[in-house]
Structure 1
């Protein structure tokens, strides 16, 4: 099986222009232990649509799951 067939065209993410302020905020609130964002005592895990909005990227196949 080809990498692209399994994971899609993830290389497109290299061309997404990031907002520096947004990136600093995401890094500041990310909790690597729980793999989610922590705001005071509340944890938050964005959904694909929210990532799509933050990255200004249209994910074509919303049902595809990306694994490490």
Structure 2
């Protein structure tokens, strides 16, 4: 039961229909070296401020390395 609690019903992912155009775009713009998406040589990595908003956490602790 621990697997179910952690991952839920992952078997439902077998029935998700893939969007071929979206998948092709993701493969085209993915940079495996940096592990992020790049558009016109601009990486799409969230900044610390964006992570702060996403996680509802204040990352302004001056004594901590992020």
Give the alignment's TM-score, normalised by structure 1.
Answer: 0.52
Q: Which residue does 1:8 correspond to in 2?
A: 8
CA RMSD of aligned residues (A): 2.2
Q: How many residues align?
A: 46
| Deviation, structure 1 residue 37 | 0.8
Asked if 1:37 is matched to 2:37, the reply is: yes
Higher mean displacement: 37-46 or 20-29: 37-46
Q: 4+ runs of 1 displaced by more than 4 Å?
A: none
| Deviation, structure 1 residue 31 | 1.3
SS across alignment from 1:34? coil
For the pair shown, which has the larger CA radius of gyration, 1 or 2? 2
Which structure carries more relative contact order (alpha carbon 8 Å, separation 6+)?
A: 1
Which runs of no fewer than 5 residues in structure 2 stay unpaired? 47-66
Give the alignment's TM-score, normalised by structure 2.
Answer: 0.53
